[in-house]
Homo-oligomer: A and B are copies of this chain.
Amino acid sequence: MSDAAAWRELFVATDRAGLAALGRAAQRAVDSLDQPHRGPRSSRTPAQLRDAVRALEVCPPEGVALDTVLDELGAAVWAHGVRPLDVACVAHLHPPSVVPAVVSELTIASSNQSMDSWDQSPAATEVELHLMDFLGRRIGLPAESSGVMTSGGTASNVLGLTLARSWAAAELGVDVLRSGLPEEARQWRFVASDQAHFSIQRAAAQLGLGRDAVVTVATDERGAMAMDALDATLDDLAAQGRRVIAVCATAGTTDLGAIDPLLAIAERARGIGAWFHVDAAVAGAFVMSEELRARVRGLELADSVTIDFHKLWWQPFNASALMVRDVARFDLLRVRSNYLDRGDELDGMVNLVGRSLDTSRRFDAAKVMASLRTIGQRTFAAMLEHLVALNDYAASVIVDHDDFALVAPPSSVSCVFDAPHYAAHDLRRVQQGLLADGSMVLGRTEIHSRPALKFTFMNPLTTREDVDQLVALVARRLPRRSTAHEDDRG
């Protein structure tokens, strides 16, 4: 084959021949997922996985046939991944993917629109704006709300708090993005619960305020922010002359799924003139269910909201959004670029770079829209409600079990428990043993320094019988009681 012909074969072309070749290659990629191993993951050790991967040269002098490459990756990588659709894959907020999203990745990558400027994504820009409008309406934000897709909940939280910082600085007449943190910033604080995601701390660190600028508020028995503790904290901070620039509530904490009392917190934030950010990465999906949406009442009062489509919207990574209650808030971020977003484009050409902390950005909105349109409102809500009910059921099984105790009442889709007659190292051994032999990917965490195990239910195909089996499987891995060392706990 001539070089030119070989090169031509490498690139995705949308003529008939090109699409036929793409279709064949896509089928081969699908075939590469057909691996003998079943279960949540294989039992290969890190060293074995490393050896198999390192046996494949990244870029050999001459290329290897694509079919071969796909087969090799199938055997070395896809066979030994974690399988989020397996009912025993319950460690994290790590969803199985829906088909409409997965096949949309093909079109997203083929078309390769970049969301920073209209002339790299003309129709795609409209899709992202349409999706953001839909989300704003669902949340109940004002008509002038909008948002932007980001690479994840952490990025969305960082963006929300970046806006909050600019907002606080603007009040002082300072453009913090231009001139840096003013002297007053030493008094700036973010307030969040002690169960908030660590990305709130990360945002404070990134923004130059430091993790110590995040003041944590005690939580109640469910893991939701305690209002009396919040009031006491705000009083303390006021007495110390601190300026709370953002109150960060969580709708669905990472471990307990707890939902902070958003309405009450919104009121307190308004009372002190603070930006009200809600990290609804987990429970934001509840706005899609008439049954569940009451749990996130107050979300519509937020200045900014983090929504992770790659959690309870069953999207493959990455797909997150940061919503703002007024699209004009993004002006706090805007930078002019000579080659993007010059401001002298034709009517209606929106350059989304002005809303984002990224420049080049993939068209993840397409997969979200394809998925929601395929799933439909009724089915989406039913799957979500099933998971919440399933989690309630899991909690009831834990409560009834001799070996286990619930760490907190269930709030969303995660169930955190411990084994009171056992030591911390027993819990660690159970979780690591299940992971090592590939029989379960179980969560392990700490709640207020109390070591715990965790089920996170992301897969709507999971049944109550599956839950019974998961609990039984964990129980069987506990050592015989005589080996427990009570004094070793904690």
Contacts and interface: CB of A to CB of B under 8 A. Distances in A.
Contact of A360 (B72, B201, B310, B362): B310
A370 B335 CA distance: 36
Contact of A130 (B58, B199, B212, B344): B58
A84 interface: yes
Given A122-B41, A375-B63, A107 B29 contact: yes
A107 B122 contact: no
Contact of A64 (B50, B122, B373, B378): B373
Contacts of A130: 53-54, 56, 58
Interface string A134-171: 10000000000000000111110010001000000000
A112 B94 contact: yes
A459 B7 CA distance: 10
A92 interface: yes
A12 to B, nearest CB: 5
A435 B345 CA distance: 10
A209 interface: yes
A192 B53 CA distance: 38
A154 B359 contact: yes
Interface stretch (A393-401, A443-451, A481-489): A443-451
Given A10-B375, A210-B180, A360-B152, A109 B105 contact: yes
B357 A53 contact: no
Interface stretch (A244-252, A347-355, A404-412, A464-472): A347-355
14 contacts: A11-B85, A11-B314, A14-B83, A16-B34, A19-B30, A22-B33, A66-B374, A151-B318, A153-B360, A177-B210, A180-B210, A206-B207, A255-B339, A346-B432
